[in-house]
Amino acid sequence: MSDDNQLPPELVWEKNGDGEEHLSEIVLATIADGQVSIVPEVAFTHLQWCEGCVRAIGESAMLSARVDSCLNEWAAEAVQHERAKARVSLAPPLPVPWFAVAAALAAAALAAIPSLEGAPLWFHESCRVVIHALPALVHGVVTIAHGGASAPLAVSYASAALLMVMGIGIAMRNSANVRMEAQGR
């Protein structure tokens, strides 16, 4: 590192009460904080033989650690305080508009009344179709469950079940349309 990026000599040294030169508080704090790149080599040479400066760096490091700990505690308290303020400033939740929900459900029920005219017939036909299709479906599920089916067979059963469900839906829809046409609607 060049000398331009390091502390100048007037900041590195200071005289103590005996007139001896030792490392300044600036250098001691800089080393204790781990910013050694700006400290000249001559300061580290001095540290090799000066017990007083080594002790001072230790004290400075301890002070730095205590200050760091206090700052972390202060920051945590500040964050908690800000969070508490944010919780207090939040608006209370809006109440559930039960009347509007009940009105919407009532309107939906009233709108469904005309489609309920053919419900008994639809239910009867659905039960009849399911009763006829159920044995084949149960047989396929039992075969697969007992491990008597390989992966391709399981896929074919699943495809057949899907086609059966779709066929039931189409048949029910078509029979309802035929019935409506016969009734003149």
3-state secondary structure 46-108: HHCCCHHHHHHHHHHHHHHHHHHHHHHHHHHHHHHHHHHHHHHHCCCCCCCCHHHHHHHHHHH
Q: Encode pLDDT of 128-170 as tens digits.
A: 777 877 787 788 777 777 766 566 766 777 787 788 778 777 7
In a domain, 136, yes or no: yes
In a domain, 47, yes or no: yes
Mean pLDDT of 65-93: 80
pTM (2 decimals)?
0.37
Nearest CA to 14 among 37, 35, 43? 43
**Could you tell me if 7 and 51 lie in one domain?**
yes
Distance separating alpha carbons of residues 52 and 22, to the nearest angstrom:
8
Residue 178 has what pLDDT?
Answer: 67
Residue 93 has what pLDDT?
Answer: 67
Q: Is 48's pLDDT higher than 80? A: yes
Residue 25 has what pLDDT?
Answer: 85
Token pair, residue 105, equals 């459900």
- Number of alpha carbons in the 13 Å side-chain half-sphere of residue 105: 6
Contact 38, 30 (CB under 8 A): yes
Distance separating alpha carbons of residues 125 and 107, to the nearest angstrom:
28
In a domain, 106, yes or no: no
In a domain, 96, yes or no: no
Q: Encode pLDDT of 11-36 as tens digits.
A: 888 887 777 888 888 888 888 878 88
**Could you tell me if 21 and 83 lie in one domain?**
yes
Q: Percent of the chain beyond pLDDT 90?
A: 1
Residue 109 has what pLDDT?
Answer: 83
Distance separating alpha carbons of residues 27 and 7, to the nearest angstrom:
8
In a domain, 120, yes or no: yes
In a domain, 108, yes or no: no
**Could you tell me if 84 and 122 lie in one domain?**
no
**Could you tell me if 119 and 79 lie in one domain?**
no
**Could you tell me if 83 and 122 lie in one domain?**
no
**Could you tell me if 8 and 84 lie in one domain?**
yes
Residue 42 vs residues 8, 9, 63, 101: alpha-carbon distances, Å = 11, 10, 24, 82
Of the residues 31, 55, 89, the one at which a domain ends: 89
**Could you tell me if 75 and 126 lie in one domain?**
no
Structural domain that includes position 45:
3-89
Q: Encode pLDDT of 159-171 as tens digits.
A: 877 887 787 777 7
Mean pLDDT of 50-54: 86
**Could you tell me if 72 and 9 lie in one domain?**
yes
In a domain, 147, yes or no: yes
**Could you tell me if 14 and 75 lie in one domain?**
yes
In a domain, 95, yes or no: no
In the chain, how many domains are there?
2
Token pair, residue 46, equals 């001095």
Higher-scoring residue by pLDDT: 174, 69 = 69
